[in-house]
Amino acid sequence: MPSPFVSASNLRKTYGDFTALDGVSLTMDRGEVVAVIGASGSGKSTLLRCINYLDPPDSGEVRVDGVRIGFGEGARRDRVLPERDIRRQRAEIGMVFQHFNLFPHFTVLQNLIEAPMAVRGLSRAEATERARDLLNRVGLSGREGAFPAELSGGQQQRVAIARALCMKPRLMLFDEPTSALDPELVGEVIAVMRSLAEEGMTMLVVTHEMDFAAQTASRVAFFDAGKIVETGAPAQVLRNPQHPRTQAFLQRILRSH
Amino acid sequence: MDYALIAPYLPDLLSGFWITVQLSVITLVLATPIATAIALGRDLGPRPLARALAVLVNAVRLLPALIVLYFVFYGGPQLGLRMKPMTAATIGLVAMGAAYMSEDIRGGFSALDRGQFAACRALGLPFGHALRRVLLPQALPLIVPPYMTRAIIMVKGTSLASMVSVADLTAEATRASSITYQPYVFVLLAGVLYLALSGVLVAFQAWVERHLRLRYRLAR
């Protein structure tokens, strides 16, 4: 059996007295889209931040395409890698944030080409060509010269997705990408994510958008108090949840919609 | 103003002014990078380093500047560190200036959205690159006004060097006053020269702020 493309095993992470991850394990095949749902503060975002080592887990292991994130192999398996090597690993993992985190003093184009030039060593011309291509894909051709503050939230998030894709990542992490958006702007971001999923990108998406989870995800994982309590096909987890916590959460969500 | 009264002392006053200019420039040039390093160390460094720097900054910040200068100039030789007045004054003023300035710079960085740091790291940008291209340009407009105010305070503070036998503008002006019994003339003259020096900094601040506004078009 081939090993999974992404595997997180037994991740633990505490902040003081608060346990954000309490032994979380998750595997993903290449091209799979996993939606992570659950109440706020249940540890969903921490999982993403541990996967790209933005927050080092206290214990447990993450592998992406066989490569162990943050640590060496063999004799050096207990040693944290030097920052330079961790940066290289992170560059392979795209991340999209709830609040976009675009660089406000850069134009849209500069936001996209900064890291490919600095980290991947692309020439300005190469990076610009790649960036224009991506802006076209996210429906923002012609906005290269705009500053983030001149764009709507939905447009900013699409720029942020294009910025992450400009690094040609092998895995994409989305941390509540539509939670900060006005309701009428959610659709355009979801559409971009959906087309990305159709192209075969491996995606781990923390979201409150149940429609996205139901229609686009290949699997849904329900998070509660630092643990994945239920995981399975969207139809199963969302329509016929087994765990009482999942049932209670989904009922709350349905009532509020 | 009686030029004949001033003339004999003018060379000494100008040489004192020149020493004040030198002391100001050296102090600012040395204190700024030290202050930046302290600010970054406290904000982003490992916890023991951050704590040690906090203690150091507060120790210097909470003492009167004159006590720090006396400590370096008079206390130094007792510890076997004999130095020229100018060196002692520079060390004392740089220590004071760097401690204060580090707080101004730290303020600018802590006002930055933490998401900017996260985005830089997630993209794999090396820290130096992130600092230079992403973080500093956003922090600078916040740092410049308090930093420049501090710079002006430091320039004026160089007059304390006169207390540890540096022949700066204040020292020369008080010397001329006590010989001629005409403090009105000489202290006023010194004041005008200090005003000119600080005025340069004010003009510089206006230029920098204009430049930053144009360059980064920050929507603040």
Residues in chain B with CB shorter than 8 Å from the CB of A163 are 123
Please name the member of A54, A100, A118 whose beta carbon is closest to the beta carbon of B125: A118
Q: Is the pLDDT of residue B1 over 70?
A: no
**Residue length, chain B?**
220
Q: What is the mean pLDDT of residues A111-120?
A: 96
ipTM score assigned to the predicted complex: 0.92
Query: pTM above the 0.90 mark?
Result: no
What confidence score (pLDDT) does residue B165 get?
87
> Closest-CA residue in chain B for A104?
B218
> Closest-CA residue in chain A for B219?
A149
Distance from A239 to chain B by nearest Cα, in Å? 35
Residues in chain B with CB shorter than 8 Å from the CB of A105 are 137-138, 216-218
Distance from A91 to chain B by nearest Cα, in Å? 5
C-alpha A190/C-alpha A184 separation (Å) is 11
* Contact status, residue A48 vs residue A175, Cβ threshold 8 Å: yes
* Contact status, residue A37 vs residue A212, Cβ threshold 8 Å: no
**Is B79 within a domain?**
yes
Taking an 8 Å cut-off on Cβ atoms, the answer to whether B138 and A87 are in contact is no
> Closest-CA residue in chain A for B217?
A105
What confidence score (pLDDT) does residue B34 get?
96
- φ and ψ of B136, to 5 deg: -60, -45
**Is B10 within a domain?**
yes
> Closest-CA residue in chain B for A148?
B219
* Contact status, residue A62 vs residue A46, Cβ threshold 8 Å: no
What confidence score (pLDDT) does residue A107 get?
95
Residues 97-126 of A with CB under 8 A from B: 97, 99-105, 114-115, 118-119
**Is B220 within a domain?**
no
> Closest-CA residue in chain A for B133?
A114
**Is B56 within a domain?**
yes
What confidence score (pLDDT) does residue B220 get?
39
Encoded tokens for A180? 């900060």
**Is B88 within a domain?**
yes
Q: Is the pLDDT of residue A39 over 90?
A: no
Kindly state the helix (H) or strand (E) to which residue A19 belongs, with its residue range: strand A18-28
* Contact status, residue B198 vs residue B156, Cβ threshold 8 Å: yes
Q: Which of the pair, B216 or B94, is modelled with greater confidence? A: B94
Please name the member of B115, B116, B124 whose beta carbon is closest to the beta carbon of A119: B124
Instruction: Express each pLDDT in B148-188 by its tens digit.
Output: 999 999 999 999 999 988 999 999 999 999 999 988 889 99
* CATH code: domain of residue B36: 1.10.3720.10
What confidence score (pLDDT) does residue A1 get?
57
Residues on chain B bordering chain A, Cβ-to-Cβ distance under 8 angstroms: 113, 115-116, 118-119, 121-127, 129, 133-134, 137-138, 216-219
Query: How many helices (H) and strands (E) in chain A?
Result: 9, 10
Taking an 8 Å cut-off on Cβ atoms, the answer to whether A105 and B118 are in contact is no
Asked if the C-beta of A88 comes within 8 angstroms of chain B's C-beta atoms, the answer is: yes
Residues in chain B with CB shorter than 8 Å from the CB of A95 are 119, 122
Q: Is the pLDDT of residue A202 over 90?
A: yes
Q: What is the mean pLDDT of residues B90-119?
A: 93
Distance from A246 to chain B by nearest Cα, in Å? 30
C-alpha A157/C-alpha A163 separation (Å) is 10
Buried b vs exposed e over A5-24: b needs ≥16 C-beta within 10 Å? bbbbeebbbeeeeebbbbeb
> Closest-CA residue in chain A for B116?
A101
Taking an 8 Å cut-off on Cβ atoms, the answer to whether B217 and A105 are in contact is yes
Encoded tokens for B220? 């603040």
Q: Residue A89: CB partners within 8 Å, gap ≥ 6?
A: A52, A53, A64, A67, A69, A70, A81
What confidence score (pLDDT) does residue A257 get?
62
Domain that holds residue B108: 3-215
Q: Helix/strand/coil (H, E, C) string of B43-111?
A: HHCCHHHHHHHHHHHHHHHCCCHHHHHHHHHHHHHHCCCCCCHHHHHHHHHHHHHHHHHHHHHHHHHHC
**CA dist B43 → A103, B107, B142 (Å):** 20, 10, 16
Number of domains composing chain B = 1
**Is B108 within a domain?**
yes
Residues in chain A with CB shorter than 8 Å from the CB of B123 are 90-91, 114-115, 119, 163-164, 167
Taking an 8 Å cut-off on Cβ atoms, the answer to whether B115 and A52 are in contact is no
**Is B202 within a domain?**
yes
Distance from B106 to chain A by nearest Cα, in Å? 20
Residues in chain A with CB shorter than 8 Å from the CB of B218 are 104-105
What confidence score (pLDDT) does residue B219 get?
43
Taking an 8 Å cut-off on Cβ atoms, the answer to whether B125 and A167 are in contact is no
Asked if the C-beta of A91 comes within 8 angstroms of chain B's C-beta atoms, the answer is: yes
Residues in chain A with CB shorter than 8 Å from the CB of B118 are 54, 97, 101
The mean pLDDT of chain A is: 92
**Is B154 within a domain?**
yes
What strands, in cross-sheet order, belong to the sheet with A67-68? A18-28, A6-15, A59-64, A67-68
**Residue length, chain A?**
257
Residues in chain B with CB shorter than 8 Å from the CB of A93 are 122
